[in-house]
Structure 1
């Protein structure tokens, strides 16, 4: 009996010792002294993006502002595409790449999604936990992007507890509302996702969010007690208006996507429409296709004075190939005679120049929650580009002033009316451009410094 007790005690104590040894190291505050190296970073802020860093502009802007404030920013996420040039060149920013999940776990099939989703989450759990707890040194702050919330919120909350790190959640939208687009509002997984998001959201030290409307939901519905700070998206410095028409024309002529319409660009009669899309369910691209087909029909029949349109669509996403086939069929059927639709994937600088050179921007973002806003519109305003966008959600007025810098629509028919009116009357389009150029004066640093900069102690 005594020997058995000793054996059990040995194994228990060994397990406890192993557990203690395997616990991640903790953050220890360092008190500054007069002898401290002034070139050393004030602190380290980890930024977790469970997505492609290059396609997460807001989180890259956070990193740039953190580095500018004298701290070190460590971005953790998938390194799949080009990041902002200032991010890659900054000595105050480092990137820790997460390994991508196996391709076979990605599916649009609802039945397979139910099977593959848990496996994908398990893979992500291991990768995130290992990276946050062991691959990286403990930091004072961990800033995470939400959504995706599963498994980010749970792993980040546990890691911050063990490492004595302050957790900040940057709410771009709600994960459960995006999941509802695929499964429906009443699905048990959607309800579970909402509970999970509300529960783990309460472990954060502070919250940032993209709209005032979202801050209200987080406070009243999620019952979060930590500070909730609205931090509106603003454009980075590389988004700037191009004031001279000749300069805009010169850039458009350099684009391979514009090769077939160069004579129209040179004559100044072509209108260039730009839309950036993630090719997902919360952006119904068929709205734009239907509107462009109707516009082409009107220009061919009853309104021949309407100019020809070049529509350049940027972005990557799961529904892209489906829509490209649809566009090709419409072209064969002669339904896009006065409209040319081209897709492009541009460098950061070229994308900014495209926005500044185009005639009109289109946003198809429908907002699964009603309280988030499309970053693409912010970039368009930064480049002085007027916008027409889907406006049937609560937060839209926080971004666009109707009739001043943009216009809203709620159907394909309404979008056609806006295109016909604006492309058919240059004075109305130029009025919106003037409003967008005025809006471009509101920059990211002006918004970030008094909110996030103050929170992190960097200003």
Structure 2
């Protein structure tokens, strides 16, 4: 008995020493805390000669205008902009970063770097990109997804915690994209607590509703995710939401008062002249050896941007094009179509195989379908050169909106989009700047209506899109986010 008590005592003492040591190490290695007495600073030496040549983009012009007598610019507004996703495929978060930097704030932009980042982000000395390593294993299998999901969450937790706590300076604000909410919101809350940082959640959608697309709305993981998302987000300092409808749902569901901050086109998305359109189209490899008449537009160019995910059913577009090809055989007024699909994602290989099969079966006669991953500049030129944009976003929550439509409006491009969700009318005005559809048959009918040889409706929609593009991102952003972060005009 004495031996057993001695063993218990030794084990307890050992565990106590280990625990106290671990707690001590944890306390002494906590991330540094933000203090307004030690703001970020910019000096002349921070800017290269190239930065000085492109002073507006690099932030050097702002530095010159606002620096103090000793040549130091004190940066009062510092923000960690966080997206647990590919930065290059997160235009809204990049626009946040650019707007903060343009108005004198310092930004640490944290996320994956899998694709091209906006060149203006890379050019700015006020923006520091902090890449995080992606989870090394991905799967499409539902069973393997359930097995690997906990490992992925643990991986993301440590990677994001390290990036926010140790690879970037303590900031006054943290702006977090949601979704994904797991583990982003938990890590953000911990870092904000340790570093005296104010948390702002930018709601693009609901994480649990996206998870429900894969597992079903009644799955226990979906229920847990919904609870987690509500609990972890309530204590944030402020919230932005992409639609008025989402603001209403946040208020009703979790008592969250969110500020509506609608997506608007960025400055690099502009309408193109006829000369610039022709110049761009002549460079496209998809048109090589085709007998399209670029001058008279004896064909029509449609563009769709997709992430090739379950919330965008690409089969709707394919079926609509098949129906269009059939209709064209009996209506000589209908032009040939060139469809360009941009984007990357997990469903792409499946649909490419389907496209190849339809071509071999002769069901896409006089319709060219090409996929592309374009630079920021070329994507803007493609939208500006097209006749119609196609949005297949179906919305898992019903209250989010596809930013791709905003990009299309930025170049004066009218849109046909899936309209069977609540927030759609906040963005597209039926018959004014776009058309809605709710089936493949509906999309085929829209294409036939707009391309039947009478361009009057298409011209009217383009005029509406041009009116929509007059209000830009900064016009929407500055009165909402700029005021919250107390940035200067």
Classify the TM-score, shorter chain.
over 0.9
Q: Distance in 1 between matches of 2:362 and 2:275?
A: 32
1:73-88 pair list within 5 angstroms = 73-88=107-122
> Which residue of the partner structure matches residue 257 of structure 1?
286
Which of 370, 374, 382 does residue 354 from structure 1 map onto? 382
Q: Distance in 1 between matches of 2:98 and 2:403?
A: 17
> Which residue of the partner structure matches residue 442 of structure 1?
471
> Which residue of the partner structure matches residue 401 of structure 1?
429
Alpha-carbon distance, 1:49 to partner: 0.9
Conserved? CA contact 2:77–2:486, under 8 Å: no
Q: Does 1:279 align with 2:308?
A: yes
> Which residue of the partner structure matches residue 448 of structure 2?
420
Q: Does 1:293 align with 2:322?
A: yes
Aligned length: 452
Alpha-carbon distance, 1:41 to partner: 2.1
> Which residue of the partner structure matches residue 200 of structure 1?
232
- Taking a change above 3 Å as real, the CA distance of residues 399 and 6 of structure 1, as seen in their structure-2 partners, is closer
Paired residue secondary structure (1:263): coil
> Which residue of the partner structure matches residue 391 of structure 2?
363
Q: Does 1:458 align with 2:487?
A: yes
- Taking a change above 3 Å as real, the CA distance of residues 42 and 111 of structure 1, as seen in their structure-2 partners, is same
Q: TM-score by structure 2 length?
A: 0.89
Alpha-carbon distance, 1:136 to partner: 1.7
Q: Distance in 2 between matches of 1:38 and 1:18?
A: 36
Conserved? CA contact 2:36–2:76, under 8 Å: no
Conserved? CA contact 2:77–2:487, under 8 Å: no
Q: Distance in 2 between matches of 1:263 and 1:438?
A: 30
Q: Distance in 2 between matches of 1:7 and 1:268?
A: 81
Q: Does 1:328 align with 2:372?
A: no
Conserved? CA contact 1:373–1:396, under 8 Å: yes
Alpha-carbon distance, 1:132 to partner: 1.3
> Which residue of the partner structure matches residue 18 of structure 1?
25
> Which residue of the partner structure matches residue 107 of structure 1?
139
Alpha-carbon distance, 1:289 to partner: 0.3
Deviation per CA, 1:84-109, whole angstroms, max 9, x where unpaired? 1110101111100101211xx31111
Q: TM-score by structure 1 length?
A: 0.94
Paired residue secondary structure (2:75): coil
> Which residue of the partner structure matches residue 248 of structure 2?
216
- Taking a change above 3 Å as real, the CA distance of residues 332 and 446 of structure 1, as seen in their structure-2 partners, is same
Alpha-carbon distance, 1:264 to partner: 3.0
> Which residue of the partner structure matches residue 37 of structure 2?
30
Which of 408, 417, 429 does residue 458 from structure 2 map onto? 429
- Taking a change above 3 Å as real, the CA distance of residues 90 and 337 of structure 1, as seen in their structure-2 partners, is same
Conserved? CA contact 1:257–1:344, under 8 Å: no
Alpha-carbon distance, 1:151 to partner: 0.5
Paired residue secondary structure (2:435): strand
- Taking a change above 3 Å as real, the CA distance of residues 247 and 262 of structure 1, as seen in their structure-2 partners, is farther
Deviation per CA, 1:22-73, whole angstroms, max 9, x where unpaired? 2221111228898785523223100111111011000000000000110111
Deviation per CA, 1:161-182, whole angstroms, max 9, x where unpaired? 1111000000000000000111
Conserved? CA contact 1:277–1:316, under 8 Å: yes
Q: Distance in 2 between matches of 1:455 and 1:37?
A: 28
Q: Distance in 2 between matches of 1:436 and 1:87?
A: 27
> Which residue of the partner structure matches residue 52 of structure 2?
none
Q: Distance in 1 between matches of 2:126 and 2:325?
A: 50
Alpha-carbon distance, 1:203 to partner: 2.2
Structure 2, unaligned runs of 5 or more = 1-5, 40-66
Deviation per CA, 1:258-301, whole angstroms, max 9, x where unpaired? 2243533244211000000001100000000000011011112x
Alpha-carbon distance, 1:400 to partner: 0.6
Q: Distance in 2 between matches of 1:192 and 1:138?
A: 31
Q: Distance in 1 between matches of 2:71 and 2:465?
A: 44
Conserved? CA contact 1:299–1:338, under 8 Å: no
Q: Does 1:190 align with 2:222?
A: yes
> Which residue of the partner structure matches residue 162 of structure 1?
194
> Which residue of the partner structure matches residue 161 of structure 2?
129
Paired residue secondary structure (1:329): helix
> Which residue of the partner structure matches residue 65 of structure 1?
99
Deviates more, 1:443-452 or 1:127-136: 127-136
Q: Distance in 1 between matches of 2:264 and 2:412?
A: 13
Alpha-carbon distance, 1:16 to partner: 4.2
Alpha-carbon distance, 1:330 to partner: 0.7
Which of 223, 231, 248 does residue 261 from structure 2 map onto? 231
Structure 1, unaligned runs of 5 or more = none
- RMSD in angstroms over aligned alpha carbons? 2.0
Q: Distance in 1 between matches of 2:16 and 2:108?
A: 42
> Which residue of the partner structure matches residue 97 of structure 1?
131
